[in-house]
Amino acid sequence: MYFSASKKLLLLSTILSIVIVALSTNTSNVTAEEEKAKIVGTVHMITEKIDLPKNLEVQLIVLEETKQPSSISSSVDKNGNFEFMVNTSERYNYIPLLIHNGIRYLSKPQSIQFSSMSENKQIRFDIYQSTSNLSSIIIEQTKITLMRLQRSNTTLTLLREDSVRQNEQYIYTGNESGYTIRIPLFENTLDVSAEGEYFSEFKIEGNYLITQMPIRPGLNKVITKHIVSYDKDQDYYLLSIINSFPSNIILVEIPDGFVNKIEFENSDFWKKNTTEINNASLLIFSKDMYVKEGQITNLSFVGLSGLNNPHIFSSASNTILAIFISLILISIIGTISYRKNS
């Protein structure tokens, strides 16, 4: 068994990966004396009864087509104000960035580009006090989608989406454990990849996928894709769902026709609904009740042997790719790989 972790991305290359710049330039219109304008900004401490920190600095990443990214900086004054004097040519795109207590913040708006008008641009940063107290964090919903069934090699592809909410105006940065979120791997995991917010990194530690991704006030999304093996002879797979924080809702989505039946522990707590995607039926099972941190929710997929007819979801169809891509766009990708030798 082994796993490989993707190398840390440099800051500028990461920003390049999250910003798609489509610029067209007419070099005949570029003059030696380019027009200038200001990017004027403010920094606000949102956490109540906490003063704005001193010695803050804002970095401005400068993206210019055909050239390597560069950066300039501006100090934030005691009132939270800062400014940059920049070129207003449409060839430039600007990404403001602030780092406080090791937490990276993007501005509102996140990128700036000037038009033919040279008016000043206004931006702002909202920052928060860090905390190691996790008592105000819950998982609003955990959704597991059975995305793919490969009977040829007896594997399932499961997409897990955790909606993690921080109810206080603090950023949770973890405690002595060294991580903020710990997601247990499913049974018989062969491969797993993860997506969180920008700059987040994930790694395998034992039977867990862990990350130091900061949990910000409001809703945070963590999406993991698991490839697992099932027992061909016994013809079933036991799905054990464990949450790292208290949870309110668990959803399990299964394309109709993938399995002969679903078996639940405490089936009285589960509700069944059906929806359609591109004329394909999708079964949705929901458990709407409080689940304690670390509590196990078990269900079994029974009858995976191929007795059912092939289904639109049983291959990497355009439909599934569209669903997966739309989920990826929620957040910026940080990926790890975990593989078991066959």
In the chain, which segments carry CATH 2.60.40.10? 2-25+34-127
Q: Are the C-beta atoms of 276 and 282 separated by less than 8 Å?
A: yes
Closest listed residue to residue 98, CA positions, set 64, 119, 65, 124: 124
CB-count exposure of residue 14 (10 Å: 0-12, 13-18, 19+): middle
Question: What tokens does 340 get?
Answer: 């078991």
Tally of CB atoms within 10 A around 296: 11
Domain 2-25+34-127, second-level architecture: Sandwich (2.60)
Mean pLDDT of 277-291: 90
Phi, psi of 105, deg, nearest 5: -125, 135
Q: Which residue has 């109810």 as its token pair?
A: 167
Residues 54-75 pLDDT 10s = 999 999 999 998 889 999 999 9
Average pLDDT, the chain: 82
Cis peptide leading into residue 184 (ω within 30°): no
Residue 36, C-beta contacts closer than 8 angstroms, at least 6 positions apart: 85, 86, 87, 88, 118
| Protein fold of 137-339 | Immunoglobulin-like (2.60.40)
For the cut 60, the answer to whether the pLDDT of residue 28 exceeds it is: no
pTM (two decimals) = 0.77
Joined tokens for residue 221:
């999304």
Average pLDDT over residues 305-325: 45
pLDDT digits (tens, 9 = 90+) for 191-231: 999 988 766 789 999 999 999 999 999 999 999 999 999 98
23-44: average pLDDT? 67
Pair 280, 313: CB distance under 8 Å: yes
Average pLDDT on 91-96 reads: 95
Helix (H) / strand (E) containing 17: helix 11-18
Answer whether 121's CB lies under 8 Å from 112's CB: yes
pLDDT tier for residue 235 given thresholds of 50, 70 and 90:
very high
